[in-house]
């Protein structure tokens, strides 16, 4: 056998050995998140695994690139023991990185519903909370740690070696061999890149099956693809004038009623997806207080988050800025844009404004965003008077912190606007020791803490009712995003965004109803301003829930697809073509794709106009009226 073919045969064995373990990590990802994919047919699952090999190979080509080079060095040193040991080190190093990220994402995906992108590392850099939480993650997901190291042991133990007794490197003509090796490496490069005009991207996974994107992708691949990625580029479908005919972010409400100087309290509830709330699930949930309160609130059939992370939800709620890019607004260059928010608008009307979050100051850049959004004050863990209420992980437990706010507001000048973000219903899901055994454990670790946070809300409202500012206040309750899920209806591209959202005013019975329509987090700012009869022009990507339009919708972004939800349709769009249309509410599990090439979907022009104006507004720093 010639030296070249010997190298090629050995390299192929090692490459297949690597791909076997990468596919095995995909299987582990699938098992750990089975509920998310249970609506897929068996054939669709097999296809996802098959097409996933391309993304696994791409990742290994990047992280194991030195191993690839070592596999085709045309010299006698190839048979040297030290050379082969070094090649093995690079092989194991590349595989270990990919497996580690895949295993981490097997657990993290349960919270986000998408493969991680490079912004994950940006988030880690905004504070030391994530690194400090590492021992808790290892403790809670110890089985993943064990399986990961078992994989690494198997990779090392059965790594294909040069058979003993082989002769030293055969005498060959150097020039032909180096040509063969070079051409082979070029072939391997194009196997990773793809042979088409454009290189392999996340869009290739979309083409296979939109609902199986996370299963097809490899976490390392999605991170590699988003390194240094431009945050957003201008999207163009229409002329500016025509786009504005379909959609405009400039609002001005005409009202004969003077501006109402009501207090506004926005309670952002960590991870309060609809799945946990009995009000939305025929009484089956973990929120008895919230269930009773929502009966006296304005609620909606579909209320959706505009992101999958807290750093995406906060700008949507406070400043009506949705997350339609891979890099969250808070961490993007667009944070330096001039933009308005509830804090800046109401602050200009004489409101005292403040952002409350019991977490460590600096966590996720919330304090910096609050300042950019125009809040006059920020109250974090550092400002809380009794550090004995620290949960040992993220910040102050919800119950004492909400009590602190209820009483702190007595020192505020009315009218005031405050936004508060809870934190207890976040991993590692700790309940204060004095409440051990008080709340139902449930079937997911988050259930018990949701019940605790619901109890904290009850205590907050009982205290607030006794305060002089209570009756003159509009309360908005909204989750930042969804979290762990066990019900298939909340695990698909639509359900993974369904959150608690409600408007409540103690002195206004007109808000006591449920509307059979759609709303989203970015609708909160215009809705509050409309409710207060604010008559000046302002910029908002959302629409008021009090407007008389019959065409309401929500726009979300997940796994490279834009999603549009109306009261009777759910649309998947990849910026160029429709990938899916589903009937609502009949097909809430998104199992029957109604799209065909001749399908006419009038709302698509509205979505295109929304995306065009959104991209141009951020890129060109035009987020003011």
The 8-class DSSP code of residue 296 comes to T
Report how far residue 324's alpha carbon sits from residue 334's, in angstroms, rounded to the nearest whole number: 13
Is-cis flag, bond preceding 585, omega within 30?
yes
- For the chain of 625 residues, list the mean pLDDT of each consecutive stretch of 10: 74 93 95 86 90 91 87 75 91 95 89 75 55 72 93 95 64 64 80 72 63 84 76 88 95 91 97 96 96 97 95 96 88 82 97 96 86 94 93 93 96 97 92 94 95 98 97 97 92 94 96 94 98 96 87 91 94 92 93 86 93 94 90
Domains of the chain are: 3-225 (no CATH), 251-327+337-509+519-546 (3.40.720.10)
SS3 375: coil
Q: Are 479 and 490 within 8 A, CB to CB? A: no
**Interacting residues of 201 by C-beta distance below 8 A, sequence separation 6+:** 225
The 8-class DSSP code of residue 122 comes to H
Can you give the three-state secondary structure of 56-76, one letter per residue?
A: HHHHHHHHCHHHHHHCCCCCH
SS3 188: helix
The DSSP-derived string for 479-541 is: ES-------GGGTSTTGGGBB-EEEE-TT-GGG-EEEEEEEEGGGHHHHHHHHTT--S-EE-S
Is-cis flag, bond preceding 40, omega within 30?
no
Q: Are 311 and 125 within 8 A, CB to CB? A: no
The alpha carbons of the chain give a radius of gyration, in whole angstroms, of 27
**Token pair belonging to 506:** 């103690």
Give the pLDDT confidence score for residue 198 in this predicted structure: 56
Report how far residue 489's alpha carbon sits from residue 585's, in angstroms, rounded to the nearest whole number: 11
Q: Are 505 and 512 within 8 A, CB to CB? A: no
Report how far residue 448's alpha carbon sits from residue 450's, in angstroms, rounded to the nearest whole number: 6
The 8-class DSSP code of residue 392 comes to S
Pairing of strands 538-539, 250-251: antiparallel
Report how far residue 316's alpha carbon sits from residue 311's, in angstroms, rounded to the nearest whole number: 9
Report how far residue 159's alpha carbon sits from residue 532's, in angstroms, rounded to the nearest whole number: 69
> Phi-psi bin for 427: left (phi > 0), alpha (psi -120 to 50), beta?
beta
Q: Are 384 and 396 within 8 A, CB to CB? A: yes
Instruction: Choose among 249, 278, 326: nearest CA to 544.
Output: 249
Report how far residue 120's alpha carbon sits from residue 138's, in angstroms, rounded to the nearest whole number: 18
Q: Are 301 and 585 within 8 A, CB to CB? A: yes
Q: Tell me the angle at which helices 524-531 and 310-319 cross, rounded to the nearest 10 degrees.
A: 30
Burial (Cβ within 10 Å: 0-12, 13-18, ≥19) of residue 539: buried
Give the pLDDT confidence score for residue 111 in this predicted structure: 77
SS3 620: coil
**Token pair belonging to 221:** 């691949």
> Which position has the token pair 């209420």?
389
Instruction: Choose among 127, 133, 134: nearest CA to 363.
Output: 127
**Interacting residues of 518 by C-beta distance below 8 A, sequence separation 6+:** 300, 301, 302, 303, 304, 552, 553, 554, 565, 566, 567
Q: Measure CA 171 to chain center.
A: 57
Report how far residue 285's alpha carbon sits from residue 265's, in angstroms, rounded to the nearest whole number: 25
Specify the DSSP element, H or E, that contains 5: helix 3-32
Give the pLDDT confidence score for residue 222 in this predicted structure: 84
Q: Are 71 and 14 within 8 A, CB to CB? A: yes
Pairing of strands 561-565, 554-558: antiparallel
* Alpha helices for 320-374 (secondary structure H): 342-348, 366-372
Give the pLDDT confidence score for residue 480 in this predicted structure: 96
Give the pLDDT confidence score for residue 255 in this predicted structure: 85
Q: Which residues pair with 298 in a beta bridge?
A: 503, 513
Q: Which long-range contacts (CB under 8 A, 24 or more apart) does 183-186 make?
A: 184/8, 184/72, 185/68, 185/69, 185/72
Q: Are 473 and 511 within 8 A, CB to CB? A: no
Give the pLDDT confidence score for residue 128 in this predicted structure: 45
Report how far residue 139's alpha carbon sits from residue 135's, in angstroms, rounded to the nearest whole number: 6
């Amino acid at each position: 056998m010639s030296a070249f073919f010997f190298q090629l045969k050995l390299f192929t064995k090692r490459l297949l050995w690597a791909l076997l373990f990468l596919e095995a990590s995909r299987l582990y990802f699938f098992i750990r998140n089975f509920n998310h994919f249970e609506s897929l047919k068996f054939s669709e699952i097999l296809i996802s695994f098959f097409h996933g090999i391309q993304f696994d190979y791409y990742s290994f080509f990047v992280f194991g690139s030195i191993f690839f080079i070592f596999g085709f060095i045309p010299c006698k040193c190839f048979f040297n023991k030290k050379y082969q040991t070094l090649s093995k080190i690079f092989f194991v190093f590349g595989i270990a990185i990919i497996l580690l990220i895949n295993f981490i994402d097997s657990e993290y995906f349960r919270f986000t519903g998408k493969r991680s992108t490079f912004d994950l590392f940006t988030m880690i850099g905004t504070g030391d909370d994530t690194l400090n939480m590492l021992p808790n993650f290892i403790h809670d997901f110890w089985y993943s740690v064990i399986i990961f190291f078992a994989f690494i042991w198997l990779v090392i133990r059965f790594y294909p070696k040069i058979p003993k007794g082989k002769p030293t490197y055969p005498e060959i003509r150097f020039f032909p061999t180096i040509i063969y090796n070079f051409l082979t490496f070029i072939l391997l490069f194009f196997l990773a890149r793809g042979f088409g005009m454009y290189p392999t991207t996340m869009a290739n996974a979309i083409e296979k099956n939109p609902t199986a994107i996370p299963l097809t992708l490899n976490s390392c691949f999605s991170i590699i693809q988003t390194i240094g990625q431009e945050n957003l580029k201008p999207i163009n479908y229409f002329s500016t004038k025509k786009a504005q005919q379909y959609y405009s972010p400039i609002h001005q409400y005409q009202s004969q009623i003077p501006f109402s100087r009501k207090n506004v309290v926005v309670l952002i509830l960590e991870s309060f997806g609809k799945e946990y709330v009995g009000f939305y699930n025929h009484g089956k949930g973990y929120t008895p207080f919230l269930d009773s309160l929502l009966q006296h609130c304005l609620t909606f059939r579909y209320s959706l988050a505009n992101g999958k992370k807290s750093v995406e939800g906060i700008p949507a709620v406070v400043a009506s800025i949705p997350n339609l890019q891979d890099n969250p607004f808070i961490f993007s260059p667009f944070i330096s844009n001039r933009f308005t928010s509830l804090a800046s608008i109401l602050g200009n009307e004489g409101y005292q404004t403040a952002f409350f979050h019991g977490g460590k100051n600096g966590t996720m850049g919330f304090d910096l965003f609050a300042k950019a959004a125009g809040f006059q004050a920020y109250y974090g863990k550092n400002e809380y008077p009794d550090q004995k209420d620290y949960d040992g992980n993220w910040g102050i437990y919800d119950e004492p912190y909400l009590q602190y706010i209820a009483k702190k507001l007595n020192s505020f000048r009315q009218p005031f606007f405050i936004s508060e973000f809870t934190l207890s219903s976040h991993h590692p899901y700790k309940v204060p020791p004095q409440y051990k055994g008080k709340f139902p454990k449930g079937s997911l670790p988050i259930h018990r803490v949701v019940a605790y946070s619901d109890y904290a809300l009850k205590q907050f409202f009982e205290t607030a009712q006794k305060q002089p500012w209570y009756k003159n206040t509009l309360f908005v309750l909204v989750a930042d995003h969804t979290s762990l899920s066990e019900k298939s209806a909340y695990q698909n591209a639509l359900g993974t965004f369904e959150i608690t959202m409600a408007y409540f005013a103690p002195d206004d019975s007109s808000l006591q109803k449920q509307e059979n329509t759609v709303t989203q987090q970015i609708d909160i700012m215009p809705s509050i301003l409309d409710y207060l009869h604010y008559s000046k022009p302002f910029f908002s990507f959302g629409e008021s829930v009090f407007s008389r339009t019959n065409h309401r919708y929500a726009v979300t972004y997940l796994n490279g697809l834009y999603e549009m939800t109306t009261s009777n349709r759910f649309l998947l769009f990849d910026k160029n073509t429709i990938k899916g249309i589903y009937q609502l509410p009949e097909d809430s599990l998104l199992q029957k794709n109604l799209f065909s090439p001749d399908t006419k979907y009038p709302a698509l022009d509205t979505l295109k106009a929304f995306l065009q104006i959104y991209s141009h507004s951020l890129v060109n720093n035009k987020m003011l009226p």
